[in-house]
Structure 1
Amino acid sequence: MANRLEDTETGQFWLLPVHIGYHWMLVIIDPLRDTCYWLDPIRLPPRNGIKSLMAMAFDYYNTSKNRQPKEITWKSIKQSTTIESLKRFCRAVVEVFGAHYLRSPNVDDVARLLHIGERRGFPGMLGSLDCMHWKWKNCPTAWGGQYAGRSGSPTIILEAVADYDIWIWNAYFGLPGSNNDLNVLEASHLFANLAEGIAPPANFVIKGKEYNMSYYLADGIYPKLSTLVQIIHDPHHPKNKLFAMKQEPCRKDVECAFGILQSRFVIIAGLARLWNKKVLHDIMTSCIIMHNMIIEDERDINASIEERVEVPSLEV
């Protein structure tokens, strides 16, 4: 910590453990002003151990810079400052990284997704499509009916496509919760490139017949299109049963992606508490970008493709 302070003249962010594993405190150090700004999730003041650690780091820094030691000033980060920082952070993430991590699949991406789909038994599949709802606690009263979702509470809808790696493609966020998945699909840009004839080529063969249009797996509410393959409800024929058994794990990719997204970023797992819809859009979009960053860093492209099996629920 002292060495890092010695090498910089600007503020630094530190996450310091109060109780390791479940309680951490954010401390922003400003060495030039001998000031520490702190933020605790349960609003506890810094403990003596953290203050002593900061004092030793500042003493080392002042000695290395030949500065006269001063008493450290501790200032709490207010809620308004935290919210404003969140807004600026999310906007910066979207502006800097959005072009890469929110892109539509390019030629190389499509080729890799087609290969994965073929290995999983679905040649031509690019991923699975579905929607999730984010409850909006502070929805303006005048918009309450428009945004009321299936639960009766105001929600905002996210439509997304996820692949085998749980990478989220074609994220579309912002429609009121009163819309169903069909309305969201019509408003989204999922098939925009395909309609304009600029989508990357997607050539594959099924039973000796060549196709040039890829597809997504979806549930039964979506229309019967050549670009959407729905589930088979209550299959009886052996072929239909086999298809449904193979399709279900692949279709669950997007639901798995939504679950991982919410577990990683608690802010979208709980209620949306801000008023401005544009800010909520930045928050959701930045979370998706950081989710894809994690996927890009952790995935092994050369790993074998395994079939996911749904774990049966335990009966008590």
Structure 2
Amino acid sequence: MIEPYDADRAALVSAQTALRAECAGLAALQTALATPEQLGHSFSAAVALIAECAGRVVVGGIGKSGHIGRKIQATLASTGTPAMFVHPAEAAHGDLGMIDAKDILLLFSHSGETSELAALLEHAARHALPVIGVTSSPNSTLARASTLSLCLPRAREACPMGLAPTTSTMMQLALGDALAIALLERRGFTADDFGAFHPGGRLGALLRPVCRLMHEGEALPLGTPDMPLSAVIMEITRKAFGCIGIVDEHGILIGLVSDGDLRPALTRDLNTTRAADIMNPVPITTRPNVLAQEAVRVMNERKKPITSLFVLDEDSRPIGIVHLHDLLRAGIA
């Protein structure tokens, strides 16, 4: 008996076959990078060439390679390597004027025979601009015209007909990302640098330092060890952070009283019980340059929820306080 066609199962089998093909391509790329005579030497040389470039990386490609090129250009630019995309077809109609004498060309073409790249290659040759070509054909026009050729290993396309660019574009993308990350690390690019290039959206919020979100000055709920419980309650209520920081005569934070610490103490005499009697002497705090995402992590990893963090200077004096609601409003938590 012939089993009925199962469309759902067929879709899953097709998807897994495609992923296996692309994983095989990535594995072949990893092996080539680990082998100096295949891709290792040329990749290292490309990283050095781009790192020493006084201008920008001009990325180009047509079709699917062009889409990959646009993504790589964006990744390079956002991780500290100045880059722009020039469409090869537009280059021959005036956009060559965008390319400076200090720039480097990074061109993508699976076959290496993309005719639209001719204008870019001729311009590079005329002005002695370095060209890094990414192709799967080591004997192609692009490979021969390049200062450095990054030749991808041959791999089967995920497309069952072997026609639609799938595995090959995945490998181009992975190699471009590898270039960007190698350059990022070579430049010593930090999370602060990344945040400066990504000020918008949730990513920008996560990369904001705590000092840009904290409350300061008169907003800080502070008290002394001898403060009676009645005054502690008033200060917590007035400042509305759910806690009060206890400081010594030098302004150094020596403890914290939270709403949770107050509840079991309400049976005591509110005028004779002091803040020092119920405070937590080792409160969780943070520093002004700590990223907001790290502050969220600190708040969330405790068994007992923390909703506020005091921000201390290098002498352990409170200079600010950040509340979970501030992080929520900023789109972080």
Task: Give the alignment's TM-score, normalised by structure 1.
Answer: 0.28
* Structure (1 or 2) with the greater helix fraction: 2
* Structure (1 or 2) with the greater strand fraction: 1
Computing the radius of gyration from Cα coordinates, the structure with the larger value is 2
Task: Give the alignment's TM-score, normalised by structure 2.
Answer: 0.27
Greater relative contact order: 1 or 2 (C-alpha under 8 angstroms, separation 6 or more)?
Answer: 1
